[in-house]
């Protein structure tokens, strides 16, 4: 097997590739500045914020999603690094698998850190701008102290005061723009499409089994071939 960077070890350990359609992630390529937010209807609906840093997507599960209101502090649970290939993942993670549920690409673009992002990430304080399709302007991501018993670091995602900010009475961006920036679909539509695809594939498997059974039966009742010919046939 190809030698792989340990950066995504945690990510890979949690998933069964082949069961889930999520990407395994290839070689680490540094230098990008992508950001993505994926709406994820798992056991509990949340929005995964991912910022590219040194070849991986640093990831936070924002439980209530981002808010454009500067006073609103949104809890962002720090989770394992994801591969950059994950940014284009939209679909359904099978039930019973890690993160089982439907994923929608809610926003994407690039992020521009105000300071050295490595230092900021290590320190637990990132100030940055987002140039997304939905989210723009300046943001803070600040690490909180972990409480006893908490496994993952809680951070807070907070909008800065600027032209892209909204007031508490303005429309909520999550409700205003719920659709995928890639496919234009709602989470319900993606979930339904996947359900249809699964039903279709189950149906076609069942039909194939029927066809094989029929063919085998036909072969059994077919006139006996000479032993010479039968010997040439590959064993089943």
- Minimum Å distance from CB 48 to Mn ion? 4
Q: Which is nearer to Mn ion, 102 or 138 (CB)?
A: 102
Q: What are the residues whose beta carbons fall under 8 Å from the beta carbon of 48, sequence distance 6 or more?
A: 36, 37, 38, 40, 59, 60, 61, 62, 79
User: C-beta of 90: minimal distance to Mn ion in Å?
Assistant: 13
Reference 98, options 191, 195, 14; nearest CA is 14
CB nearer to Mn ion: give 38 or 70.
38
What is the closest distance, in whole angstroms, from the C-beta atom of residue 15 to Mn ion in the complex?
12
Residues 195, 181, 177: CA angle, nearest 5 degrees: 95
Q: Is residue 106 within 8 Å of residue 47, measured between CB atoms?
A: yes
Binding residues for Mn ion, total number by CB under 5 A: 2
Stretch that binds Mn ion, among 3-11, 48-56, 137-145, 212-220 (CB under 5 A): 48-56
* Cβ 141 vs Cβ 113: under 8 Å: no
Measured CA distances, 184 to 3, 138, 189, 209 (Å):
38, 26, 10, 37
Q: Which range, of 11-19, 33-41, 209-217, 221-229, touches Mn ion by CB under 5 A?
A: 33-41
State the residue number with the nearest CB to Mn ion.
40
Of residues 129 and 191, the one with the C-beta less far from Mn ion: 191
- Measured CA to CA, the distance from residue 137 to residue 129 in angstroms comes to 5
55 versus 101: smaller Cβ distance to Mn ion = 101
Nearer to Mn ion, 104 or 135 (CB): 104
- The residue (of 40 and 159) whose beta carbon lies closer to Mn ion is 40
Q: How far is the CB of 19 from Mn ion (least distance, A)?
A: 17
Tokens of 65: 């999603």
Candidates 181, 180, 205; CA nearest to 193 is 180
At 58, list the tokens: 């640093």
C-alpha–C-alpha distance, residues 79 and 191, integer Å = 24
User: Given the structure tokens 């995964």, which residue do they identify?
Assistant: 48
Taking contact as CB under 5 A, which single stretch among the options 43-51, 67-75, 119-127, 179-187 is the one that binds Mn ion?
A: 43-51
Least spacing, CB of residue 36 vs Mn ion, in Å: 12
Q: Does position 58 bind Mn ion by CB under 5 A?
A: no
Q: Is 48 in the site for Mn ion (CB under 5 A)?
A: yes
Q: Considering beta carbons, is residue 96 or 234 the nearer one to Mn ion? A: 96
Query: Which residue in 39, 40, 50, 82 binds Mn ion (CB under 5 A)?
Result: 40
| Shortest distance in whole angstroms from residue 194 CB to Mn ion | 16
Binding site for Mn ion (CB under 5 A): 40, 48
């Amino acid at each position: 097997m190809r030698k792989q960077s340990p950066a995504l070890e945690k990510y890979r350990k949690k998933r069964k590739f082949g069961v889930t359609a999520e990407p395994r992630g290839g070689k680490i390529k540094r230098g990008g500045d992508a950001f993505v937010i994926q709406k994820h209807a798992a056991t509990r609906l949340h929005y995964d914020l991912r910022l590219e840093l040194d070849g991986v997507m640093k990831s936070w599960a924002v439980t209530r999603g981002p808010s454009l209101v500067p006073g609103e502090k949104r809890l962002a649970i720090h989770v394992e690094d994801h591969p950059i290939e994950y940014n284009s993942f939209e679909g359904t993670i099978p039930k019973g698998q890690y993160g089982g549920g439907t994923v929608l690409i809610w926003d994407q673009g690039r992020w521009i850190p105000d300071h050295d992002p490595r230092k900021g990430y290590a320190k637990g304080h990132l100030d940055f701008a987002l140039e997304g399709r939905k989210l723009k302007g300046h943001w803070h991501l600040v690490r909180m102290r972990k409480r006893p018993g908490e496994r993952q670091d809680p951070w807070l995602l907070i909008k800065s005061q600027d032209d892209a900010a909204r007031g508490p009475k303005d429309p909520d961006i999550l409700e205003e723009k719920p659709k995928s920036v890639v496919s234009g679909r709602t989470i319900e539509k993606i979930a339904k499409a996947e359900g249809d695809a699964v039903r279709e594939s189950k149906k076609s498997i069942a039909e194939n089994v029927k066809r094989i059974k029929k063919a085998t039966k036909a072969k059994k009742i077919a006139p006996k071939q000479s032993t010479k010919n039968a010997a040439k046939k590959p064993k089943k």
